[in-house]
A and B are shown apart, each in its own frame.
Chain A
Amino acid sequence: AQSVSQHNHHVILSEAASLELGCNYSYGGTVNLFWYVQYPGQHLQLLLKYFSGDPLVKGIKGFEAEFIKSKFSFNLRKPSVQWSDTAEYFCAVNARSGAGSYQLTFGKGTKLSVIP
């Protein structure tokens, strides 16, 4: 079964610091990769996605992620965080499960707190 690991449970940064959130997955086949964000009091929103092509994908609000197939990684980055980036970030992998149907598997999430 596929699994997704997010390395950091809670990250605290000052405004303007650079951000990198780690995400590794275990699945040997073709994967579709996503990062979702949940701002306080709001529902999960899609931040960015990777299906194929350029492994560096850009999302909303200045976020980007790089797919490194050899490392089974899909790390999220932002050069300079803002207080409004305070949220919980979830990495997710969509791949065929044992039953042959697609299943979206989430990491446990990383809480980002940005200090003004």
Chain B
Amino acid sequence: EAGVTQSPTHLIKTRGQQATLRCSPISGHTSVYWYQQALGLGLQFLLWYDEGEERNRGNFPPRFSGRQFPNYSSELNVNALELEDSALYLCASSLPPGQGNQPQHFGDGTRLSIL
């Protein structure tokens, strides 16, 4: 089966610009999660979408936003980019989380570099 796919692989932007990252989940998965992996900070939870709705949000400012489409794919938008937004952005998908015991499957990530 095809895994979680993310595009683009690498994105270079300048301060103040806006970035859009895309994610396609594994077929049959309805939940999509976004994480930021910045150097030295580990994986930080950003957003969780399930059935088109935002279910949970991590401790990030509102300029980080996203959406989930009817086919369960998802976009992460980052507005007013800052230098510290440079990181690897990972998308994961899972079956509906139920009691929190559905493992998440990760994509290869989008490397966002802010100049």
Closest to B107 in A: A43
Identify which of B40, B100, B107, B109 contacts A102 (C-beta below 8 A).
B100
B106 and A43: CB pair below 8 A?
Answer: yes
Identify which of A36, A95, A103 contacts B48 (C-beta below 8 A).
A103
Chain A binding surface, main DSSP class:
strand
Is A74 part of the contact surface with B, judged by Cβ < 8 Å? no
State A43–B101 Cα separation when bound (angstroms): 20
A101 and B55: CB pair below 8 A?
Answer: yes
Number of residues from A at the complex interface, CB < 8 A: 25
* Chain B residues whose CB sits within 8 angstroms of the CB of A94 once the complex forms: 97, 100-101
Is A32 part of the contact surface with B, judged by Cβ < 8 Å? yes
* CB of A55, distance to nearest CB on chain B (Å): 15
B106 and A44: CB pair below 8 A?
Answer: yes
Q: Mark B91-102, 1 if CB is under 8 A from A, else 0.
A: 010000101110
How many residue pairs between the two chains, A and B, have CB atoms under 8 Å in the bound complex? 57
Is A11 part of the contact surface with B, judged by Cβ < 8 Å? no
Identify which of A49, A51, A104, A109 contacts B45 (C-beta below 8 A).
A104
Is A34 part of the contact surface with B, judged by Cβ < 8 Å? yes
State A96–B100 Cα separation when bound (angstroms): 8
State A56–B7 Cα separation when bound (angstroms): 38
Q: Mark A21-50, 1 if CB is under 8 A from B, else 0.
A: 000000000001010100000111110010
A104 and B104: CB pair below 8 A?
Answer: yes
State A43–B99 Cα separation when bound (angstroms): 25
Is A67 part of the contact surface with B, judged by Cβ < 8 Å? no
Please list 25 pairs of residues, one from A and one from B, whose beta carbons are closer than 8 Å in the complex, sorted by A's number: A32-B99, A34-B103, A43-B3, A43-B90, A43-B106, A43-B109, A45-B106, A49-B103, A51-B99, A90-B43, A95-B100, A96-B100, A97-B56, A99-B56, A99-B57, A101-B55, A102-B48, A102-B100, A103-B56, A104-B33, A104-B45, A106-B35, A106-B43, A107-B42, A108-B41
